[in-house]
Amino acid sequence: MQSVCYVRCVRRLWGPAQASQILNVTNMHRSVCQLQHKKVMEDNKPWALISEVGGQGYIEEVTDIMKQHFQIICHKDFLQNPLLHGPKIQAMFVWNALPAPEPALLSSLPSLKVVANGGVGIDHLDVSYITSLGVKVTNTPGVVSNATADIAMGLLLASARNIVEGHQISVNPNTTHTQCQMGVEVTGSTLGIIGMGHIGCKIAQRGKGFDMKILYHNRSRRSVEDEQAVGASYHDNMDDLLKASDFVMLAVNLTPETTGLISHRELSLMKPTATLVNISRGLVVDQDALVKALQSGTIRAAALDVTHPEPLPRDHPLLGLPNVLITPHIGTNTYTTTRRMVQRMVENAMAALKGQTIPNEVKPK
């Protein structure tokens, strides 16, 4: 209302031509003030170090979430002048294990308050060392569970029903008939889940939808209510689960105890018709033992979303086996989950900077 009265007053006193000039100057002044205010607001945002946008980094669509709360700088730009940028950075967002929070980098970030990791696994972080510097560590459990469970069942189904092989036959220009190798029935089969955390429970839910018999092994037994919800039976002895399962699903965190969890002995206990599915970490499986088991027919097949390293060397024997299905660690690769992960990373980081309770703080063991 005040601006309308102002315009009318200017027009009465100065006439149309002069009034237009004055109003243009006023609008310019207002725009300059708005830009100055925006710049002040931007300058007040804390700085965060990220890996990159595109490539192995963040998809463009999620950077707006970070920019709402942080001034972000990519690692390659940071390296152009670490002495200038280092003291400003208070948060580091780690995505696909990058930028790697190693001592050399951390020592150049004297104001760092939090390392916010995207994803559940923190095996690439030296949590004890980072926290010894007074820096908080966070991750994003829960938000990744559905997408990871989806890829787990996708791998299981694709391997059981030879979906990739069928696709290759169907699109091959030399194909004259479409007969494909017989698959394995999923409905009514036995699914053994090793690692019954949040992701493991989501996998069990999906298995129940296929009328699978659900077995599980975990460090501690779930509640009766959790077991009944998915019809799961607890096996304190992992060997018993391996012997009974048609599909063995690995959904554990990588720890010293789970490194090499599945090796020659464990594979020899599995049915020759069984399939190993790994959506946890590559190092949970002894890959040399897996190659031998697949070559010898000790087990029927393997479906892997994770390997060690990632990607495997192009001459690795796993890549040449017909009974192996490998995807490039895409368990959380959906737009919905990616946005939720980044949102959770930002929430964790902001809580750490404000001295508030951090929703997903990771503490050294």
Please give the average per-residue pLDDT across 29-55, as a whole number: 71
Query: What is the pLDDT, as a whole number, of residue 365?
Result: 84
Annotation says 310 is catalytic = yes
- pLDDT tens digits along 197-206: 999 999 999 9
Question: Higher-confidence residue: 180 or 30?
Answer: 180
Task: Please tell me the predicted confidence (pLDDT) of residue 42.
Answer: 55
* Band of pLDDT at residue 40, cut at 50, 70 and 90: very low
pLDDT top residue among 177 and 30: 177
Q: At CB < 8 A and 24+ separation, what contacts does 40-47 make?
A: 42/71, 45/69, 45/70, 45/71, 46/70, 46/71, 46/90, 46/91, 46/353, 47/71, 47/72, 47/73, 47/85, 47/88, 47/89, 47/90, 47/91
Check 206, 235, 281, 344 and give the catalytic one.
281
Of the residues 52, 165, 310, 361, only one is catalytic, namely: 310
Taking each helix axis from N to C end, the angle separating 145-160 and 335-353, rounded to the nearest 10 degrees, works out to: 150
Convert the pLDDT of each residue in 251-278 to its tens digit.
999 999 999 999 999 999 999 999 999 9
- How far apart, in whole angstroms, are the C-alpha atoms of residue 146 and residue 199? 7
pLDDT in tens, 111-166: 999 999 999 999 999 999 999 999 999 999 999 999 999 999 999 999 999 999 99
What Cα–Cα distance (Å) separates residue 57 from each residue in 4, 281, 331, 342?
49, 20, 16, 12
Average pLDDT, the chain: 91
Q: What is the pLDDT of residues 282-327, one digit of tens each?
A: 999 999 999 999 999 999 999 999 999 999 999 999 999 999 999 9
Residue whose structure tokens are 């997408």: 147
Query: Is 227 considered catalytic here?
Result: no
**Which residue in the list 206, 222, 300, 329 is annotated as catalytic?**
329
* Active site (annotated) includes residue 61: no
More confident call, 139 vs 39: 139
pLDDT at 78 over 80: yes
Phi, psi of 325 (to 5 degrees): -120, 125
